Structure 1
Amino acid sequence: MSSILVVIPGELGRTVARALRALRSLEDGLPPLDVALIEPGDLAASPPAADLVIVDGPLPAGAQGALGEGTPVLALGREAKEPFAPGPLRDAVLAAVERAEFGGIVAVDPPLRAALRVIEIAAPRRAGVLVTGPTGVGKELLAQRLHRRSGRPGAFVAINCAALTDGLVESTLFGHVRGAFTGAVSTVPGAFVEAQQGTLFLDEFGDLAPAIQAKLLRALEYGEVRPVGGARTTSVDVRVVAATNRDLMREVERSRFRADLYYRLATFVIDIPPLCDRPRDLAALARKLSAEHERSGAVTLSGEAEHLLLAYPWPGNVRELRNVIERVLSLARDGAVGVEELLRLAPELSAVRQRDAAGGTLADVERRRILEVLRDGGARGQVADALGIHRTTLWRRLKRMSAPGDSAPPPSGEQARGDGAPDTPPPRSRRRLT
């Protein structure tokens, strides 16, 4: 159970607490929330234990020490107060709760949250784990999280298989004895021995040559490795986590990858979608990276600049986002960074059209999702549930989509006017926050 402490006076504090308690019934997979509401003046005296503290301003003097240095504090932004909007609060709380629960990993969108839940299930088991996803999404970060949650006392050892030649990868994984080949002037234990009682992370696992795949399978099946040039085997107790950006199932079907090795490691398959398919993660991660930068107090991103970041497809995923934010905040002048300065410091973003930056990518993503569900015959209530928004909010967005000059077709699935929107908004529901 996650404990959340709301330190906000008056009606706003009560409203925030009610919204947080409602989240439990609205968000699949969210851990139970224990929400407590106290006055700011009582925080420094005897604060209850909490996994997250929510405030609407600076912490009272001495409060951080009473809470503990590791307790995360979330300060509500303007959008959560004027007027109070549960949607931004929900995203911020989900991000903070997931960071507290999953060791700093930002996970707001359902796909990554689901992946982290699988890690919690798989961590204490010995079964194989295969992490899939494009380059730069953070596969190694999830493997590190799995290792920490496993309780295994040994080291976490990471090997990039694609960076090694076939001969070198065998020596790197299994070790070699002195004199095994030219240049082998000493005995090297290898990654399996280094990761004894720990976790061995094999990145770009799909690039392994067939001969190495066979030796790796034996190591997994029998728990023993033989160094290059060695006569004896060494027993190992190692948890192997493999990662790839390839479709290994297709590689197996084409006989390019061993089926037995695939099934040995694919007991748990964790797929991480690209960052462009996770707009809420992208927004939360951009804010987190900006806040962590050493110049975060002197340099900020304007709202238009943030929209531009959200509109860019990020082919390099999290790695590219981190590099761009680091570069921009390091080189920018003090103050708010606007679109023009952002484009000057990060010219790769220039491919994004200005109308995308002004219109907001989150709205574009929601537009596509709305149309997809409606075209499949889904009712508006189903669309609202899929988007996590209130039906009245969906009605307003459908009205905007059907405005003159908009190319969106009229929605299907429910009776609608010729312009694609109902005459009156649907009755309000108490089930969902927006």
Structure 2
Amino acid sequence: MTKEQDELAAVFRSESGKAVATLVRMLGDIDLAEEAVQEAFVRALERWPLEGIPPSPAAWIVATAKNRAIDVVRRESTREERYRRRAALEGEDGSQADPASAVAERLDQPVGDDQLRLVFTCCHPALGMEARVGLTLRLIAGLETRDIARAFLVSEATMAQRITRAKRKIATARIPYRVPPSDELPERLSAVLAVLYLVFNEGYSGTTDATRPDLAREATRLTRELHRLLPEEPEAAGLLALMLLTESRRPARFDEAGNVVLLADQDRARWDMGLIREGQGVVRACLRRGRPGPYQVQAAIAAVHSDAARFEDTDWRQILALYDQLFAIMPTAVVELNRAVALAEVHGPAAALAVVDGLPLERYHLWHATRANLLDRLGHADQAHGAYAAAAALTQNPAERAFLLGKARS
């Protein structure tokens, strides 16, 4: 790739979600916003190699997308109807002003958090849960449909249909583009938290990129804002703590060559103690509330890990007890897989392998990787190598794939 193409790819990853959210706020039209942003990137691909990279690439993309959207609105034959629809979506009074002029006048006005508003719009209860999460990952995180489908273990065609239906539902039902009033927040909360956590995970250990710090930071920022909106909601606090404690390990996750470093081998002196102290403080506040939920329990598990100066000092019995609590709240196969890791440390790899082998997660690369580790610890080297190879075949993350292939060949 050329320098301009590399820069454009980086700008798309970091700015496309923000640009779409800004245009949805102005236009109340998700499809038009997406099309305008995509066209802006196409124009950048054509012009940047000839004219050079602009001083502020992100601002260039946003301005170009805005101009494109304004042109489309001006050409709209039923412009009064479009303006009334936009006004209804934004909760305005629906005056007779020219819609393109109205858009232009709003370009530099200070606004609230466009992305958080878009998250709440996409997580409206009129949409199915998986559609809410998939649509928001597409719009906010800028993930490709194939990557979202992989995260949900469904086909790309199935996920594309869900996203298309969700956008159509928002348009036809005139779902407002706003953070809902306080009495409506609780019914949206579970989907919003799920979306933010998935965005964070994509940033921490991406589907196709080794890591996306920009996405993780953005998910954490949006979660802080959500916690500010709902200070008495313990699960919002729990998710924030979980993100902070997980993010604290980022500096130690890779060596200088970009190779994966497992938790057991990480240099804990490189962990971010500021994030650890903040995250542990939030966990303690959650415990005082006495209203445990899945994000709070996961944050408590991360807090126990962060307490150990060395891997050997980890209180695995406490972690296993917390996983028992988490499984009682959220009895999923993935939770049971993670619990098996703690079970192996407390009761040995054979007990853990018996649990792992009974889980229906053959399409999940971490199931194969966990199984491989347990087989290796039990002395079944040939079977372990095969399981590592199977795990490598199921991940698109280049750093993970290189690590797993290395283990398969060792």
TM-score by length of structure 1 reads: 0.24
Structure that is richer in helix per residue: 2
Greater share of strand: 1
Give the TM-score, by structure 2 length: 0.25
Task: Specify which structure has the bigger relative contact order, considering alpha-carbon pairs within 8 angstroms and separated by 6 or more residues.
Answer: 1
**Larger Cα-atom Rg:** 1
